Amino acid sequence: MHSSLHRRLATFATALAVAAAGLVLGPVPQAGAADAAVAADAAVPPMGPVFNRPTGDAAQQNAIRDRARAMIAAADRGSTIQMALYHFWDKAFAQELAAAHTDRDINVQVVLDETTVSTEDVDDASYDTLRTALGTDMSKPSYVKLCAAGRSCLGPTAGTGINHNKFLLFSSLGGGTAKQVVLQMTSNLTPSNYLRYWNSAVGVAGNAELYTAYTGYFGKLGKQDRANWKYTSANAGAYKVYFFPRAGSGNDTDTVVNALDNVACTWTDSAGTHRTAIRAAMLKITRQGVADKLRSLAAAGCTVDLVYSETDSGTWSALHGQTRLTTRCYQHDDDGDANAPKPTPNRIVHSKNLMIDGMYAGAREKLVFTGSHNWSGPALRDNDESMVRINEAATYNAFVTNFNDTRAAAVPGTADDVAACK
């Protein structure tokens, strides 16, 4: 499933990027007048959640991309921008990062998965733009670095894992109006992620503990010191961040299972008896321990509502046939071109969002977990990934609204006993 999706993603990206001119077609703007207008506006964009809508207009499709671009435009002269990303096929975005360095003396540091360059049939002009402007020498204040071919930056085993991260860090925006900014995305910076995939992002400013945790992890990615890497988490007020890969072999070292172990499914107060609600919009659910835990929580009285795009036979079975556990698959060939020589990718949910409303670790909470971390084996053990837990009611409410929108759009939905979903 993943390799087929990867090939279709690459083909779609190539169809949208004309190699000779570096032109990005459709709703994704070309570097030019529109980009200059954004670059001229140094206002600090809003923090908090932002979501794209692939079924919407150009502004809705590009909402996450444009939020990141607005942060680049607002970055202060002499400040630092850091970006860790899986796939980066967006020449206009690359040009803006390069211009931030060359025109405003901003230190720009980028760590990418090697497949950004080596994926078949994809123009690597975005990487070339950064390499020309920034160089590749990590001893300098600006650079672009690729993880080693065929493996993640920090994973333990050669031939496995990817740098699957999706975050940007900004030391100062808008003349110091916003400092220590983290933008954690579920989206890669590619046309498919804007136009075909449902994604989310959240921006946080002024949280020193969170920013320091991310910058520390970013530094480790570029150095690729795998021998000394250890799974890390950090508390930061209303936030907690987790950095992968994580060594181990059982559910006791599965971060998502550990989190779900904190859930109590029913509780009683003066208003009566209540059920904890668990919602997730997740690209991949192929980790059996997570699927089994969700099933057991539904059996214990929680309501579990999932929108997903990929499972396997074991996880699919665990997630069906249990009262209070509902699944909806999102694998929609909306343009009917599956048999074309170069079909576009299906519309899917690419988010990696878990929302919990109820009793968690002995307290009544509304929590969001989001980031790059799918519920797959490689995401836990092999890949470079980041996941952040957010304990803020307003953020939770925004993510649930987006979940409901994604859920309503999911096709084939509850009719998910089909090969594409399994």
What is the set of domains in the chain, with CATH numbers? 2-229 (3.30.870.10), 242-421 (3.30.870.10)
165 alpha-carbon distance from chain centroid:
7
Between 23 and 263, where is the model more confident? Answer: 263
Tens digit of each residue's pLDDT (9 = 90 or more) over 67-125 = 999 999 999 999 999 999 999 999 999 999 999 999 999 999 999 999 999 998 887 79
| Contact by Cβ (8 Å): 245, 156 | yes
CA–CA gap between residue 22 and residue 124 (Å, rounded): 10
Tens digit of each residue's pLDDT (9 = 90 or more) over 2-34 = 444 554 555 454 444 433 333 333 334 444 434
| Contact by Cβ (8 Å): 186, 351 | yes
pLDDT above 60 (res 228): yes
Which residues are bridge partners to 388 per DSSP?
241, 370
Task: Tell me what pLDDT residue 167 has.
Answer: 99
Pairing of β 303-311 and β 277-285: parallel
Task: Tell me what pLDDT residue 6 has.
Answer: 53
Helix (H) or strand (E) holding 310: strand 303-311
The answer for residues whose C-beta is within 8 angstroms of residue 184's C-beta and 6 or more apart is: 166, 167, 201, 202, 204, 370, 371, 386, 388
The answer for residues whose C-beta is within 8 angstroms of residue 51's C-beta and 6 or more apart is: 63, 64, 198, 199, 200, 201, 398, 402, 405
Angle (nearest 5°) at CA 116 between 114 and 118: 70
The percentage of residues in the chain with a pLDDT greater than 70, rounded to a whole number, is 90
Pairing of β 239-244 and β 232-236: antiparallel
